A and B are shown apart, each in its own frame.
Chain A
Amino acid sequence: MNHLTRSLFIIVSMWSLLTLSGLLFSHDVQATQENYAFASEQQRQDFKRLTKELRCPMCQNQNIADSDAMIAHDMRRKVYQLLSQGNDHDQVIDFMKQRYGDFVYYQPPVNNSTIWLWILPFSVLLIGGWILFKRRPEISHTDEQVEADLLAKADEMLEKDK
Chain B
Amino acid sequence: MINTRFVVPLVAFTALVFFLYQGLFSDPRERESQALAKPMPTFSLPDLMEPSVIYTNDVFTDQVTLLNIWGVWCVTCAVELPYLTELSQQGVRFVGLYYDQDLDPDFGTKTLARVQQEVIETTNQLGNPFAFNIFDVYRDTSLDLGVTGAPETLLIDQQGVIRVHHIGDLNPRVWDSKFAPLYNELMAQQSLQFTPRQTEGQP
Interface residues in chain A, defined as those with a beta carbon under 8 Å from any beta carbon in chain B: 34, 57-58, 60, 70-71, 73-75, 77-78, 97-101, 103
Contact = CB atoms under 8 A, between A and B. Distances in A.
B interface, how many residues as a size bin?
20 to 34
B149 A71 contact: yes
A100 B146 contact: yes
B144 interface: yes
Given A74-B143, A103-B31, 14 more contacts: A57-B146, A58-B148, A60-B28, A70-B101, A70-B149, A73-B104, A74-B139, A77-B105, A78-B140, A98-B34, A99-B35, A99-B146, A101-B32, A101-B34
* Main secondary structure on A side of the interface with B: helix
Nearest to A59: B148
Interface string B122-145: 000000000000000001101111
Interface in B85-108: 101, 104-106
A113 B172 CA distance: 34
Given A34-B106, A99-B34, A100-B34, A71 B28 contact: no
8 contacts: A34-B106, A57-B148, A60-B29, A74-B143, A78-B140, A99-B34, A99-B143, A99-B146
Given A101-B34, A103-B31, A71 B148 contact: yes
Nearest to A131: B8
A75 B31 contact: no
Contact of A99 (B31, B32, B105, B145): B145
Question: Interface residues of B: mostly helix, strand, loop or mixed?
Answer: loop
Contacts, number: 38
A99 B41 CA distance: 11
A82 to B, nearest CB: 11
B106 A77 contact: yes
A141 to B, nearest CB: 15
Contacts of A101: 31-34, 146
- Listed from nearest, the 5 A-B pairs whose CB atoms lie closest are A99-B146, A58-B148, A57-B148, A101-B34, A74-B139
Of the listed residues B28, B142, B144, B148, the one surrounded by the most CB atoms of chain A closer than 10 A to its CB is B148
A98 B144 CA distance: 9
Contacts of B35: 99
Contacts of A97: 34
Contacts of A71: 147-149
Nearest to B41: A99
A74 B100 CA distance: 12
Interface string B3-43: 00000000000000000000000001101111100000000
